[in-house]
């Protein structure tokens, strides 16, 4: 039986599965999970650009019993919305993103390393990767240290709000923190000088009231923290592993090329989902209205029809940047260059400041997640 939905923690090499599926079943109906899985580059693009393939609803009719604030955040996130609601929330998210002030990444990373290095050893994942992207986003919106730490300490819990299915314990802890995070973000956003003009601008082009625009803005600023956590953590982790493995750390440019190739070769996000809003065909396969679709981005990135010598980690391949890890089409990630730049800065800081960086683990364990491949820990020594 072909497995389309598996936990990354259960599979030592998911790329072998993708290779087999690409060869034999690039568009595959998984009867046991009732979901289509799409493995080829061309077909993944056609789904992501198809207006009849929408983002599936998470938490229909609040079946998960989120409280009012948690529900408000979830229901306004651009990442999970469709149609006109997506247009407005995306515009707001992009406006917010464009207002980020540039911050000194190296100051934050050097402090994180200093705080966590014991006898020259550090767990890169828990000490740096889980903290740096969110702290950079928080600082670039001017959050005070106390508020930054409050949000950063709870973000791992809050990101579970995105899960299609949640446990009771996850719902309970999301409900416990949502209101406090919402208030902190509301306070900070109100103090920023661009906020009033953002509300006026959106109010002029939409039928939304200022209060509705405020709620969407607060939710999507929280959304930027949420989106940066898992994916940002994974890119920092996987890039370090690839760079150590291939010894491509001699200068900043080599590190940047390695990060871009890691995005293709060993991405943090492996798949995303859609639901068909009408019948349509991919090749000879008919997708029916209401069918669920798994778009396997990490498989598309290794499609030999698109990338030459696709199984090689090759930082000089010209097409590396054409990977699908950040998605494509209307829901494409707005932080592609930000993420690549942040990861490059962090890793260049590491290799520029330490002569010898050694991996202390030879069997990396991954989080039990279906959509993301995220190392649990990466112990390294720094000399
Ligand atoms: C670090 C690596 C990152 C990866 C691999 C990544 C990946 C993705 C992907 C695949 C999507 C599209 C999902 C879909 O179409 O189903 C997406 C959307 C999004 N990402 Fe990222 N992301 C990353 C970092 C970030 C960061 C740092 C931020 C914010 C600061 C961010 C903000 C967003 C937002 C707001 C969307 C939703 C866009 C929309 O709905 O129109 N991402 N990301």
H helix intervals, 141-251: 145-158, 168-191, 195-205, 210-246
80 CA distance to ligand 1 centroid (A)? 11
Among residues 364, 117, 164, which one has the least CA distance to residue 271?
164
Binding site membership of 224 for ligand 1 (Cβ less than 6 Å): yes
3-state secondary structure of 113: helix
Binding site membership of 264 for ligand 1 (Cβ less than 6 Å): no
- How far apart CA 157 and CA 153 sit, in angstroms, is 9
56 CA distance to ligand 1 centroid (A)? 16
Does residue 3 fall inside a structural domain? no
Residues in a beta bridge with 292: 275
Buried b (16+ CB within 10 A) or exposed e, 55-66: beebbeeeebeb
Ligand 1 atom with the shortest distance to the CA of 55:
16
Does residue 202 fall inside a structural domain? yes
- How far apart CA 264 and CA 174 sit, in angstroms, is 32
Binding site membership of 222 for ligand 1 (Cβ less than 6 Å): no
Ligand 1 atom with the shortest distance to the CA of 80:
40
62 CA distance to ligand 1 centroid (A)? 24
Domain range for 189 is 8-382
What Cα–Cα distance (Å) separates residue 124 from each residue in 241, 341, 345, 367? Answer: 10, 18, 15, 15
227 CA distance to ligand 1 centroid (A)? 6
Neighbour-count burial of 128, counting CB atoms closer than 10 A to its CB (0-12 exposed, 13-18 middle, 19+ buried): buried
Q: Residue with the nearest Cα to atom 9 of ligand 1?
A: 326
Binding site membership of 268 for ligand 1 (Cβ less than 6 Å): yes
- How far apart CA 329 and CA 248 sit, in angstroms, is 32
What Cα–Cα distance (Å) separates residue 256 from each residue in 237, 253, 316? Answer: 14, 5, 11
Yes or no: say if 276 and 288 are a contact pair by the CB < 8 Å rule.
Answer: yes
Does residue 140 fall inside a structural domain? yes
Residues 6+ apart with CB under 8 A from 345: 105, 106, 109
Binding site membership of 331 for ligand 1 (Cβ less than 6 Å): yes
- What pLDDT is stored for residue 275 in this prediction? 98
- What pLDDT is stored for residue 3 in this prediction? 78
How many domains does the chain divide into? 1
Q: Residue with the nearest Cα to atom 30 of ligand 1?
A: 224
Tokens representing 226? Answer: 């949420």
Does residue 377 fall inside a structural domain? yes
Residue that is written with structure tokens 């996850």 in the block: 170
Pocket perturbation via mutation, ligand 1, pick of 99, 326, 328 by most ligand atoms within 8 A of CB: 326
For residue 375, what is the DSSP state? B
pLDDT tens digits for the chain (383 residues)?
A: 567 999 999 999 999 999 999 999 999 999 999 999 999 999 999 999 999 999 999 999 999 999 999 999 999 999 999 999 999 999 999 999 999 999 999 999 999 999 999 999 999 999 999 999 999 999 999 999 999 999 999 999 999 999 999 999 999 999 999 999 999 999 999 999 999 999 999 999 888 999 999 999 999 999 999 999 999 999 999 999 999 999 999 999 999 999 999 999 999 999 999 999 999 999 999 999 999 999 999 999 999 999 999 999 999 999 999 999 999 999 999 999 999 999 999 999 999 999 999 999 989 999 999 999 999 999 999 99
364 CA distance to ligand 1 centroid (A)? 25
- What pLDDT is stored for residue 204 in this prediction? 92
Phi, psi at 357, each rounded to 5°: -120, 120
- How far apart CA 142 and CA 145 sit, in angstroms, is 9
Q: Residue with the nearest Cα to atom 26 of ligand 1?
A: 228
Does residue 146 fall inside a structural domain? yes
Tokens representing 180? Answer: 């406090």
For residue 102, what is the DSSP state? P
- Strands of the sheet containing 357-359, edge to edge, are 121-123, 379-382, 357-359
Does residue 2 fall inside a structural domain? no
- How far apart CA 117 and CA 382 sit, in angstroms, is 9
Q: Residue with the nearest Cα to atom 32 of ligand 1?
A: 227
Does residue 26 fall inside a structural domain? yes
168 CA distance to ligand 1 centroid (A)? 26
Q: Residue with the nearest Cα to atom 1 of ligand 1?
A: 232
For 153, other C-beta atoms within 10 Å of its C-beta total 12
Binding site membership of 269 for ligand 1 (Cβ less than 6 Å): yes
Yes or no: say if 33 and 39 are a contact pair by the CB < 8 Å rule.
Answer: no
Yes or no: say if 46 and 40 are a contact pair by the CB < 8 Å rule.
Answer: no
For 355, other C-beta atoms within 10 Å of its C-beta total 7
101 CA distance to ligand 1 centroid (A)? 19
- How far apart CA 93 and CA 223 sit, in angstroms, is 8
- What pLDDT is stored for residue 2 in this prediction? 60
Among residues 156, 159, 158, 166, which one has the least CA distance to residue 62?
166
Does residue 57 fall inside a structural domain? yes
Yes or no: say if 360 and 125 are a contact pair by the CB < 8 Å rule.
Answer: no
232 CA distance to ligand 1 centroid (A)? 10
* CATH number of the domain enclosing 286: 1.10.630.10
What Cα–Cα distance (Å) separates residue 286 from each residue in 2, 27, 38, 218, 279? Answer: 20, 10, 13, 40, 7
């Amino acid at each position: 039986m072909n497995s389309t939905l598996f936990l990354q923690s259960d599979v030592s090499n998911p790329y072998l599965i993708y290779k087999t599926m690409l060869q034999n079943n690039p568009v595959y109906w998984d009867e046991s999970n009732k979901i289509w899985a799409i493995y080829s580059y061309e077909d993944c693009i056609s789904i992501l650009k198809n207006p009849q393939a929408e983002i599936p609803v998470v938490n229909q009719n609040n079946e998960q019993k989120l409280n009012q604030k948690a529900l408000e955040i979830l229901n306004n996130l651009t990442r999970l919305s469709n149609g006109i609601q997506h247009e407005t929330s995306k515009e707001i998210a992009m406006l917010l993103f464009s207002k980020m002030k540039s911050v000194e990444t190296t100051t934050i990373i050097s402090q994180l390393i200093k705080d966590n290095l014991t006898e020259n050893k550090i767990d890169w994942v828990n000490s740096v990767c889980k903290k740096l992207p969110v702290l950079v986003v928080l600082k670039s919106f001017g959050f005070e240290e106390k508020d930054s730490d409050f949000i950063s300490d709870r973000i791992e819990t809050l990101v579970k709000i995105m899960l299609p299915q949640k446990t009771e314990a996850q719902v309970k802890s999301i409900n416990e923190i949502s209101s406090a995070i919402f208030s902190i973000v509301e306070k900070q956003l109100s103090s920023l000088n661009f906020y009033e003009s953002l509300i006026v601008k959106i109010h002029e082009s939409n039928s939304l009231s200022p209060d509705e625009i405020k709620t969407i803005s607060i939710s999507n600023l929280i959304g930027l923290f949420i989106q940066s956590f898992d994916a940002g953590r994974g890119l920092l982790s996987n890039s370090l592993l690839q760079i150590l493995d291939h010894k491509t750390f001699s200068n900043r440019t080599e590190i940047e090329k390695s990060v871009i190739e890691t995005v293709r070769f060993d991405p943090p996000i492996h798949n995303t989902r859609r639901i068909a809003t009408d019948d349509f065909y991919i090749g000879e396969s008919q997708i029916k209205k209401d069918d669920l679709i798994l778009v396997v981005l990490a498989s598309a990135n290794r499609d030999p029809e698109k990338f030459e010598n696709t199984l090689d980690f090759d930082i000089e391949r010209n097409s590396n940047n054409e990977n699908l890890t950040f998605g494509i089409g209307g829901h494409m990630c707005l932080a592609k260059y930000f993420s690549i730049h942040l990861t490059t800065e962090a890793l260049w800081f590491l290799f520029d400041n330490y002569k010898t960086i050694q991996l202390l683990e030879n069997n990396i364990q991954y989080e039990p997640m279906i959509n993301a491949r995220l190392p649990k820990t990466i112990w390294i020594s720094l000399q």
